Structure 1
Amino acid sequence: MNGVLTFIPPTEEHAQILLDWRTRPDIADQMLSEVPYDVERQKAWLRRCAERTDYVHRVLCVDGTPSGHVSITITEPAWKIATIGVLMGEKAGRVGAAPLNFAYMLNHVFFTLGLRKVVNHILGTNSPRLLKGQPMIGYRPVGVLARQVVKDGREIDLHVFEMLADDWRATRNRFGVYTDMDGREWR
């Protein structure tokens, strides 16, 4: 195993594994939305996603094995702003080269899609390492929306981070990843 990352467009064949990941308690607890356990509904979601022009997603594979799901949602098309989402369903998606998935995604956001800004919202219940790592990637902490999200009766802080295309251009050389999620090289 070399830890080689590839990104493949999800199909209905991925519905079961994506649903299993999205509804697993440790993952569902970190998501903003709830997903009912319904394979047919998951397949319908995948079909709708394939028709969208404001949403790009891939199954992250480590050494050819599906290990996670990554997405880019264009939230403000006129302003060229997006948000990204990352779900690591398997341990292989959390170790080795896999945590560099953000570099491929940011290259996709800023070069392939030509967007100008990413704004991410991260639940305060996520790993402190995840929150502390955002500025190391190049994100600027915007602030914390105190007790913004309510899940299972718990009030949870929502951390907001942003990155401009210029910020990524200045930071990306540290990571040595110059391709996007589809393998296009951007130097």
Structure 2
Amino acid sequence: MSGALTFIEPTEDHAELLLDWRTRPDIAGQMLTQVPYDVERQKAWLRRCAERDDYVHRILCVDGVPAGHVSITITEPDWRIATIGVLMGERAGRMGAAPLNFAYMLNHVFFTLGLRKVVNHILGTNSPRLLKGQPMIGYRPVGVLKRQVVKDGQEIDLHIFEMLAEDWLAVRDRFRVYQDMDGREWM
């Protein structure tokens, strides 16, 4: 296995796979929202996603095998701001080159979509490595909303990070990834 990353557009055929990942307790516990285990509802969601112009998502594949789901949501179209989401459903998505998925996503955000800023919200229950790694990628910590999210009666901090297009341009050479999620080169 080479660890090569590719991204494919999800179809209704991926509904059960995505739902299995999304409802797994270790993944669902790190997400802001919960979804019921309903394959038909998941298929309807995939159909709605295909019609949206403010949402781009892909299945991340490692050596051609689905390993996770990544998304870009344009939250403020007039201000050209988005947020990104990453869900790693398989171990291969957390090893080797797969953690570099953010580089493909950020190239997609800033070059393909022409946006100017990404703002991300990360639950404090996520891995400390994830939170500490954000500035190394080029994100600036904005702050922490203390006890902002309540899940299963537990109050959870919400960490906010932001990145401007010029911030990404300043650090992206260190990752040596110049493709977007669709394989377009952005040198």
TM-score tier (shorter): over 0.9
Q: Matches of 1:151 and 1:39 in 2, distance apart?
A: 23
Q: Matches of 1:171 and 1:112 in 2, distance apart?
A: 18
**Residue ranges of structure 1 left out of the alignment (5+ in a row):** none
Q: Matches of 1:150 and 1:65 in 2, distance apart?
A: 35
Q: Matches of 1:116 and 1:33 in 2, distance apart?
A: 26
Q: Offset at 1:121?
A: 0.1
Alignment of 1:82-101 (within 5 A): 82-101=82-101
Q: Offset at 1:96?
A: 0.2
Which residue does the alignment assign to 2:146?
A: 146
Which residue does the alignment assign to 1:115?
A: 115
Which residue does the alignment assign to 2:132?
A: 132
TM-score scaled by length of structure 2: 1.00
Q: Matches of 1:131 and 1:178 in 2, distance apart?
A: 24
Q: Offset at 1:159?
A: 0.1
Percent pairwise identity: 86
| Equivalent position SS for 2:171 | helix
Which residue does the alignment assign to 2:72?
A: 72
TM-score scaled by length of structure 1: 1.00
| Equivalent position SS for 1:47 | helix
Which residue does the alignment assign to 2:3?
A: 3
> How many pairs are equivalent?
187
Q: Offset at 1:42?
A: 0.2
Q: Matches of 2:183 and 2:24 in 1, distance apart?
A: 30
**Root-mean-square deviation over aligned CA pairs:** 0.2
Q: Offset at 1:103?
A: 0.0
In the TM superposition, structure 1's runs of 4+ consecutive aligned residues that sit over 2 Å from their partners are none
Q: Offset at 1:6?
A: 0.2
Amino acid at match of 1:169: L
Q: Matches of 1:21 and 1:172 in 2, distance apart?
A: 29
Counterpart check, 1:169 vs 2:177: no
Q: Offset at 1:22?
A: 0.3
Q: Offset at 1:95?
A: 0.2
Q: Offset at 1:183?
A: 0.1
Q: Matches of 1:182 and 1:74 in 2, distance apart?
A: 18
Q: Matches of 2:36 and 2:161 in 1, distance apart?
A: 28
